[in-house]
Amino acid sequence: MLDGSILQKLEIAHRGGKRPLNFGVYYKNTLVALCHALEDFILESDSAPLMITAFQRGKWYLEEAARYGELAQKSCQVAIMAFPDAGFTEHPTSQMSNVAIVSLEPSDPVAQEWHLMILSETYTAMVLCQELSSTDYGVKGQPENDPERKFYGFWTFEPELVKETVELAIAHIGSYNPELQQALTAQVQRISAGFGKTQRDDISLVVSRVVDYLQHSHEDISHLGEAALGVPIQEQALDDNLLSNELQAFLRMAQLIDQADVTNPMAAPEVAAISEAMGQLLDLPAWQLKRLRLAGLLHGLSSSLMSAVDGQDEAPSCPLIPGVQALRAMPQLQAIAQILTHQTEWWNGTGTPAGLSYDAIPLESRILGLVADFQRRVRQAQALQPGEDQLTLSREEAMSKALVECQELSGQAFDSKLVEALVLLVMGMQQGMGLQANQPKIAAGMWLLNSPANEEAQLGVSSKKD
């Protein structure tokens, strides 16, 4: 990372912390599609955001200046950083009263960075990257094709992380324009005061847009090809990068859902770890274990459908859950969407959304439904009660209590054979068996898709009533 860059400052601030940043490498065409998707949602957002961007050179800004004029009309303030060239400051968008242009010095490391920061009361998003150096590209050198240029960094929807980065960017702007720094700081304070007081925009709509734009970018690259560029293009590498970011969008949305639940912020990684362990106990093949793990990481996307099994009457009967429906846009996630949709079916056929029973319920759905309910009950048993100053139960005691409650529903809500497997797992965990329930490295999750893409979720081991 470049010394003094915004990316480096953020990395240093999080080095060794509980929430390390997940960095990845992104091709330029991926970043263009990603930024366009995140930017265009501003036009649908319920609030006017503060936008801070870094374009490297003014000529890249000029390619976007017209659409930025439309975005500025919906924003409270837009600050644009770039090395000045090609009429950078003369474009009509640059003359708008709520658009501020910051001309970077040639030696400024931010002139090598590509940033997009969107901060409002209802919608936050960020792309934070810097271009690889000639040394980073190695012996092959810098690519001849512009879409194949590579950038190192990450992107996120997390409000507090976006706010932290915006403040770093504003401090950097202050070295050029102290008055603008003061004005932007006041905007951040106003927006921050509104956090939690206004219903946030539906993040599943943003994710659906991200996936759609990335898929269209792949189509554009396929049509472009060698004939138009005149030199070979690494189409497979570009395609993989786009696909990786489609998956990242869903993982980031699921992570945001977890973070919003202060009583159970590790739900996804814990459900994924226990589900995978149960799959291993059932001797499922490796590709199915990976799919089960991915379903566990994404199971929170169907939270609008999930309810405690003792309150199932409150669950809607419609299977078209927004978060799950968004998954169907990716052919590689069709089976995952099916698993998530049916995780609230009951073994006796009285569940939702389709009233499936017994082996008609996909095996992965049965596993996920049982594990998610067990994990939730464990966390509830451990939660602080009003007036208490220590955990209600130890981890081992909470697992025992949750297991008993799940056993009471064996043969009704849950497959009795899977409940027996859960008993063995809990015994192992209580005796010291460790499960790696860590937050996933989101930028490196492609391995989770290396399984049969369109195969239906397995109906699995026979567990019909004797």
Domains of the chain: 6-203 (3.30.870), 263-449 (1.10.3210.10)
Q: Are strands 124-131 and 77-83 parallel, antiparallel or unpaired?
A: unpaired
For residue 442, what pLDDT is reported?
59
CA distance 113 to 147: 16
Rounded to two decimals, the pTM is 0.78
pLDDT at 399: 92
Q: What is the pLDDT of residue 332?
A: 77
- Distance, in Å, from the CA atom of 356 to the CA atom of 347, rounded to the nearest integer, reads 8
Q: How far is CA 446 from CA 117, 242, 258, in A?
A: 26, 11, 21
Helix axes 395-408, 416-430, angle to 10 degrees: 170
- pLDDT, residue 38, reads 95
Cα separation, 22 vs 9, whole angstroms: 15
What is the residue-level pLDDT of the chain in tens, covering all 466 positions?
A: 889 999 999 999 998 776 678 888 888 888 999 999 999 999 999 899 999 999 988 888 888 999 999 999 999 999 999 988 867 888 999 999 999 999 999 899 999 999 999 999 999 999 999 988 878 777 777 777 777 788 999 999 999 999 999 999 999 999 999 999 999 999 999 999 988 788 888 888 888 888 888 888 766 655 555 444 444 556 677 777 777 778 888 888 888 887 777 788 889 999 999 999 999 999 999 989 989 999 999 988 875 333 333 444 433 333 445 557 667 777 778 888 899 999 999 999 999 889 999 999 999 999 999 999 999 999 988 875 555 555 567 888 899 999 999 999 999 999 999 999 999 999 998 887 877 766 666 555 555 555 554 445 544 444 444 3
Residues 6+ apart with CB under 8 A from 289: 276, 279, 280
Strand arrangement of the beta sheet that strand 50-57 belongs to: 24-27, 150-156, 124-131, 113-119, 50-57, 77-83, 99-103
70 close to 43: Cβ distance less than 8 angstroms: yes
